[in-house]
Chains A and B, each alone.
Chain A
Amino acid sequence: MADRSAEVRINDFSEVDCGISAEEAVIEAERCLRCKKPACVEGCPVGIDIPGFLKYIEEEDFRSAIGIIKNSNMLPAICGRVCPQEVQCEGECILGVKGKPIAIGALERFLADWEREHGVTVPESKEKRKERIAIVGSGPAGLTAAAELARNGFSVTIFEALHAAGGVLIYGIPEFRLPKKVVAAEIDEVKRLGVLIRTNHLVGRSVPVEELLSYDAIIIATGAGLPAFMGIPGENLIGVYSANEFLTRVNLMHANAFPQYDTPVKRGGNVVVIGGGNVAMDSARVARRMGADVTLVYRRRQEDMPARLVEVHHAEEEGIRFLTCTNPTRILGEGTVTGVEVVSMDMCELDDSGRPSAKPIPGSEQIIPADVVIEAIGQSPNPLLIRMIEGLVREKKGNLKVDEKGRTTVPKIFAAGDVATGAATVILAMGAAKVAAESVRKMFDGE
């Protein structure tokens, strides 16, 4: 896997990781032990037959290899790029115990990219059936559920509030990690299965609840898009963003190419990013690419950061300054932000999440100059639609209540993805969507 050098890539939004060649792919696949009970498969939330596709790579039969992946995963070019493989498939690979696990993600990406270049075969759909299914939200959960149901012959409509489909894949995860043309191509495949995607339709408003309920089944896949703010003084000053806003302006609206594109965003200067997850890393690296000097403030230790390892590593390479065991207490400025007051944190005993809890150290306050502050401290499900449908239950943190089959508390309404789990991962959202789609099918087949 070759990354473009940090000095070069901080000047553009092109992909960081250039992927691997066919030769490299074959050599890597040859290392696989073809375990009888493959641990890697256990680690993949959608249970891809990993040794199966590795065998075809070894035989240089890439077409069959990608076919195997697509039996379980309709969005391999995306997952190959953004799955936290180190805690999933690769984390479980037996070769990882003593040495390096198989680079499963890179191989998955290779196959998907290969197929896009060599012509995509759209899987066949079963005979058309009469039931109409509505899916709310076009993120990975909505797309996956739609593909599954369309392949089973259902007539599927996705409603998406934004002007473009893809959810976080299109507005959150930046171009240099997940090129938008890759997302567009995978969405195009879903459309070719016959799925109708209606953008600019906010369900609950553009589509009234009664109209939604006129579908034979509904899958809510509205994600966890509601940004949290810390609740510290100074948050409404000019220059303070939620990560969602900052990333949306750049990724969805192309503010990095302002004024050619009309959407503005504050650029350059000193940027302080608050948080330690993928969202924080993405915000920091986007700001860096627009010429800023970036400091990332995280209240625990670097090893506690929930971001994918490779993103933390890339951020460091790109010159993002990490200020760990540090917590913001106030944002300073008159009208416009000028700085952030932070306090050092003392790491104490482990908490429920297995990470150390942290206590502020009195007298350790310091001020970091800032022109822009980006808060990336978490998102929860948008309550708009959930509140409008009678009978749906919101659990703690606003998550929509579902059972293990993806059923909500209202008949014929199912849900999957971040809306039910809270902010999680692409592949978990997809896994849950498959379960929900299967439940829908069974409901109609009387199983």
Chain B
Amino acid sequence: MYQVKSARLLAENVYETWIEAPHVSRNAEAGQFLVLRIDDEGERIPLTISGVDGDCVRVIFMAVGTTTEKLAALKTGDAIHDVVGPLGQPSEVHHFGSCVLVGGGVGIACLPIIAKALKESGNSVIGIIGARNKDLLILEDEMKEACDELIITTDDGSYGIKGFAAGPLKEICESRPPDAVWVIGPAIMMKVTSGVTKPFGIKTFVSLNPVMVDGTGMCGSCRVVVNGETKFACVDGPEFDAHQVDFDLLMSRQRFYHPEEKESREHHHSGGCGCGGHH
């Protein structure tokens, strides 16, 4: 059992939860994730480790289905059955020179820890964080602190620059091309945004989020195709060279269980889980 140390709402439907898990926190590096299982009937889901403080790790997630809704309902002092991690390869952090980190939506959660690691390795770091609107934007203060410069975009223009993060990224590539770029967010956003750096030949990383089970390389559920080769994202990734990733396959495989996910949500909302519709 792993205890929830604090839990709060960060933005509309986006939650921040700190979990006590020393075996994870003490060994976590930028870019890694954990897998958790909330209760005995629960599934295993992966979440990025977005912060570390002593014996605790932080996850930031959007409540989109059964498990993230269950997680969102947990309060300080509640227990999570299982937490395993850190999993996956750490981000490729070394001295590049200048780096740009682009985050979309809840993908921003991955960035502060990478930004800090890059800074420690002597890089200059520009952050670009984007959300649909002002209310959905997360971690602005943390990113401001972690980066040398922070650019904000919103789709509707309610805050920062109006439009997608791809816009300012392109400008930077033209005016002062960086040595490495990270793009993390929904698959479609990663596909489009990482396309921007390709003509410039700039090394670009994306963090892939296929459906996972064990997270240790045992099942192959998380397979993705990179440079024409099948890889297991949980052990070979989750970060890969953006310009070699088959994003269409990733997006297709993310839909593997859409009918079942809907059924599961309906089951839980109808009180089939015995919670009376509380998560």
Contacts and interface: CB of A to CB of B under 8 A. Distances in A.
Say whether A and B bind each other. yes
Interface of A: 161-163, 199-202, 205-208, 225-227, 229, 235-236, 238, 241-242, 244-245, 248-249, 253-254, 258-265, 335, 382, 384
Interface of B: 23-24, 27, 32, 37, 41-44, 66-67, 81-87, 213-214, 216-221, 223, 225, 230, 235, 249, 252-253, 255-257, 260-261, 263-264, 267-268, 272-273
Contacts of A205: 27, 32, 85-87
Question: What are the 3 tightest A-B residue pairs by CB atom distance, in nearest-first order?
Answer: A264-B260, A245-B219, A259-B267
B65 to A, nearest CB: 9
A207 B26 CA distance: 9
A207 B86 CA distance: 10
Contact of A227 (B32, B87, B220, B260): B220
Given A262-B42, A335-B252, A206 B86 contact: yes
A202 B218 contact: no
Nearest to B66: A262
B84 A258 contact: no
Contacts of B87: 202, 205
29 contacts: A161-B84, A161-B214, A163-B82, A200-B82, A200-B83, A200-B84, A201-B84, A202-B216, A205-B32, A206-B24, A206-B85, A225-B218, A236-B230, A238-B252, A241-B220, A245-B220, A245-B221, A253-B43, A253-B44, A258-B260, A259-B267, A260-B267, A260-B272, A261-B43, A262-B42, A263-B43, A263-B213, A264-B260, A384-B216
A248 B82 contact: no
Given A202-B84, A206-B84, A259-B260, 13 more contacts: A200-B83, A201-B23, A202-B216, A227-B218, A236-B225, A238-B256, A242-B219, A248-B218, A259-B268, A260-B272, A262-B43, A263-B43, A335-B255
B79 to A, nearest CB: 13
A143 B230 CA distance: 33
Interface-centre pick from B32, B220, B221, B249 (highest chain A CB count, 10 A): B220
Contacts of A335: 252, 255
A205 B83 CA distance: 13
A399 B27 CA distance: 27
Most buried by B among A245, A259, A262: A262
B27 A208 contact: yes
A163 B84 contact: yes
B173 to A, nearest CB: 32
A262 B41 contact: yes
A294 to B, nearest CB: 20
Nearest to B261: A264
B231 to A, nearest CB: 11
B230 A253 contact: no
Contacts of A254: 41
Nearest to A162: B214
Given A163-B37, A202-B84, A262-B67, A382 B264 contact: no
Nearest to A260: B41
Contacts of B41: 254, 260-262
Nearest to B83: A200
A274 to B, nearest CB: 14
Most A CB contacts (10 A, CB to CB) among B84, B263, B268 go to: B84
Contacts of A249: 213
A259 B84 contact: no
Given A161-B84, A201-B23, A206-B24, A248 B214 contact: yes
Contacts of B264: 258-259, 262, 264
A236 B219 contact: no
A445 B133 CA distance: 69
A242 B225 CA distance: 16
A349 to B, nearest CB: 33
Given A254-B41, A262-B43, A264-B261, A226 B223 contact: no
B23 to A, nearest CB: 4
Contacts of B257: 264
Contacts of A226: 217-218
A227 B219 contact: yes
Contacts of B214: 161-162, 248
Contact of A229 (B27, B37, B230, B253): B230
Nearest to B259: A264
A241 B211 CA distance: 12
A291 to B, nearest CB: 15
A53 B42 CA distance: 43
B131 to A, nearest CB: 28
Contacts of A265: 260
A21 to B, nearest CB: 34
Nearest to A205: B86
A162 B37 CA distance: 11
Contacts of A201: 23, 84
A225 B66 contact: no
A225 B218 CA distance: 5
Nearest to A265: B260
Contacts of A238: 252-253, 255-256
A174 B27 CA distance: 34
Nearest to A164: B82
Contacts of B267: 259-260
